[in-house]
Amino acid sequence: MNTALTEQKTINQAKLAAEFRQFINPEYVITDAETQRVYECDGLAAYCELPMITVLPETIEQVQKVMRICHQYAVPVVARGAGTGLSAGATPNDCGVLLSVAKFNQILDIDTDARLARLQPGVRNLAVSEAAAEHGLYYAPDPSSQIACSIGGNVAENAGGVHCLKYGLTVHNIVKVQMVTVDGELIELGNEGLDSYGMDLLALIHGSEGLLGVVTEVTVRLLPTPEKAQVVLAGFDSVTTAGDAVAKVIEEGIIPGGLEMMDSFAIKAADDFAKAGYPREAKALLLCEIDGTIEEVDQYIEQVATLFKKLGATSVQISQSEEQRMLFWKGRKSAFPAVGRISPDYYCMDGTIPRGELSNILTEINRLSEEYGLRVANVFHAGDGNLHPLILFDSSVPGEFEKTEEFGGRILEACVAAGGCITGEHGVGLEKIRQMAVQFNDEEISQFHAIKHSFDAEGTLNPGKAIPTLKRCQEYRSIRAQEQAKPSQSCGHDHSHEEEVKHV
């Protein structure tokens, strides 16, 4: 950055900070680099940037004032929840404001008759079910990070979780969102009724990654706690056999509460951490939960166990208590951090494919693993085809992260080729912005830009994320075409383009 631009940035920072401190507690208007260091990235720490200013407003009116001031000066704004995202979607803009909603962490109301809960965006996902439990209710979407991730972030990325196969993603469990627009207007999308008039703008906000507004309140749908839930834990001698078993369960007309798969790397790491009693010799593991009335659980749990044995399962266990059921799930939900026990670093991917392509994609991932010389631990929502391959690498080895990132891109491109998409619940952010050019053509990307423009004409909300410019799409397609024409299967593309994207 040249000296003149640095000086201009300093002037802007001081001026903005002074304006913000007129209505926000000065303690929560942060300008020094050291204190802002904790905000430089989200859960994908490979992409880092310090914001110009970080603000932590405490009221909706303060959020509105921040947005009006930033709109007046055309200052970029990046909204941040708990910072657990995995696509660099909350990476700050170095010439902009990071707006944290960490102080918006209250459950405003639980309506037991309507089975609804009004929440501030900083409420933790798990806290909703904990608060609703005394009323015999719970909130269904349960990302693995639910102990820490926030409801506002769940809306931004349209988060899923273990139980999304039966109960849907965040978008299927939200009835209303309140948000502040780029120019400070407070609007509501959706309502508590069974239907809404006009276009479904509520669905549009889900997965919008902070590009369209700042969420300030969310009304979620609560469900009655099932009478009973049990888990079948089955080991298989190959991921292909386990993948075929997933498809067979759905073919039988059984819709499990959750249907998850882990491969041998993940099994051992998770069991070492959680002591869940997993079959450590298995090459693949399936966790299939049946929930509902006592009668239907008793019927389907035996049907699933029998089906797994018939399809070649090497071991089958049925949870015999609530404690054992939760222990089985503890291993799965701890799998991501547990993999850190067997590798210095891991890179978590997020692609979605048709269930029928599961075995083919796992075979391709194994082939790519050999090609790149990098191990992969597969942990994913097998029932709905949402893959989470964890590429194991060592960031201290020069060039290894770049190789890992390239490998990850190849996985996502394979998902698209199989009829899937580049993200199921983590979002595009900065991480997958290149692969947008693989999944969407120029006309489709132009439509994304048109939607963005209708909410944010100046492009100051979370700029550079999720939607690539057509120029970059054309460059990436050109690079991919050159690679495909080469006899070598190595990507070998110019990483200068990647750096340009990382720090858009």
More confident residue, 471 or 426: 426
Contacts of 3 (CB under 8 A, 6+ apart): none
The angle that helices 3-20 and 60-73 make with each other, rounded to 10 degrees, is 150
- Name the residue ranges covered by the structural domains of the chain: 3-100, 107-224, 228-338, 346-352+392-502
- Report the share of the chain in percent with pLDDT over 70: 93
Token duo for residue 271? 């069991």
Q: In the chain, helix, strand, coil percent, each to 5?
A: 40, 20, 40
Sign of CA dihedral 201, 205, 211, 213: positive
Whether the pLDDT of residue 498 is over 70: the answer is no
Q: What are phi and psi of 472, to 5 degrees?
A: -70, -35
CA distance 145 to 379: 14
Confidence band for 10, pLDDT divided at 50, 70 and 90: low
CATH number belonging to the domain at 107-224, selected among 3.40.50.300, 3.40.630.30, 3.30.465.10, 4.10.490.10? 3.30.465.10
Q: What is the pLDDT of residue 9?
A: 56
The single residue listed with the structure tokens 């208007």 is: 29
Q: What is the pLDDT of residue 500?
A: 37
Whether 3-100 and 228-338 share one fold: the answer is no
The angle that helices 358-372 and 239-251 make with each other, rounded to 10 degrees, is 160
Mean pLDDT in residue range 178-185: 98
CA 482 to chain CA mean position, Å:
31
Per-residue pLDDT of 313-362, as tens digits, reads: 999 999 999 999 999 999 999 998 899 888 999 999 999 999 889 888 98
CATH fold of 3-100 reads 3.30.43
CATH fold of 228-338 reads Alpha-Beta Plaits (3.30.70)
Whether the pLDDT of residue 166 is over 80: the answer is yes
